[in-house]
Structure 1
Amino acid sequence: MTTDHHESDVASSLDAMFDVLSDRYRRRLLLEVYRRRRRSEGEAFGVDAFTARGELSEECRGRLRHVHLPKLAAAGFVAWDRERGTIGPGPHFREIEPAIRLLHDNRDELPDDWL
């Protein structure tokens, strides 16, 4: 059985999307990008503003900068300016946006630890 090249691309992009969404902090970052786009509050926001809202430990802040943001940026879902410390939608954000919208629109019905 042969697999169509397009089917393979779709499967790998779906796998990449689920891999990115597998972490709560990455979901939260993507939800913040989504919310800001919907409210037209500008394209980019500060990493420090995002991390200051919650009770994130220094370890969690380090993981955001050294694990989660690089992973999201490598996938093209966010644009991360390390020097300025800002995050915005990346060139592939539209590919993950339907999943983020689904999470956002159903947040009241999802378990608390999902978002």
Structure 2
Amino acid sequence: MTICWRPTLLTFNPNSAGNKNLLLLSLAEPTSQCKSYDRSAQLDTMFDVLSSDYRRRILFELKAERLRVSEASHRWEAEYGDDRDRIELLLCTIHLSKLADFEFVEWHRESDEIRQESRFEEVRPVLDGLY
């Protein structure tokens, strides 16, 4: 949830020497502007996550089943024409971390397993439209 702030200017007079203006931010009730910001932020997140072919592929394959990094890198080696070790490095250092940060996937390094996370359903309709 996005917190919206309403600026409020108060005059503060600590002593008779003069006035000092103090800008305070007070919590505002959610407004349509805040809701619009939430939708915009969600779209930005979605486009950022889906901007990588590797991340789209991970999410797409997770629609049907769990996924292992080692299995994915093996399959994608021929498709992408890239070295398997390089693919695993990219997945483990960049793409899976980003997907996990946004709670689209749950990634267990020890078991090499990737699973759907709590926000996966938010991205499913977009994936359905892409593939």
TM-score (norm 2): 0.68
The residue number in structure 1 matching 2:76 is 54
Between 1 and 2, higher relative CO (CA 8 Å, sep ≥ 6) is seen in 1
Partner of 1:113: none
The structural deviation recorded for 1:35 is 2.9
The one-letter code matched in structure 2 to 1:54 is W
1:53 corresponds to which letter in structure 2?
R
CA RMSD of aligned residues (A): 1.5
Residue 72 of structure 1 corresponds to 99
Could you tell me which runs of 5 or more consecutive residues in structure 1 were left unpaired when the two chains were aligned.
37-43, 105-115
Whether the 8 Å CA contact 1:34–1:101 is kept in 2: the answer is: no
Deviations 1:12-68 (A, max 9, x none): 0110010010001001101100133xxxxxxx3211111111214122220110000
Identity %: 36
Question: What residue ranges of structure 2 are gaps of 5+ in the alignment?
Answer: 1-30
1:18 aligns with 2:18: no
More strand by share: 2
Distance in 2, matches of 1:46 and 1:61, equals: 10
- Stretches of 4+ moved more than 3 A in 1? none
Instruction: Work out the number of aligned pairs and report it.
Output: 96
Report the TM-score, using the length of structure 1 for normalisation. Answer: 0.77
Structure with the larger helix share: 1
Residue 114 of structure 2 corresponds to: 87
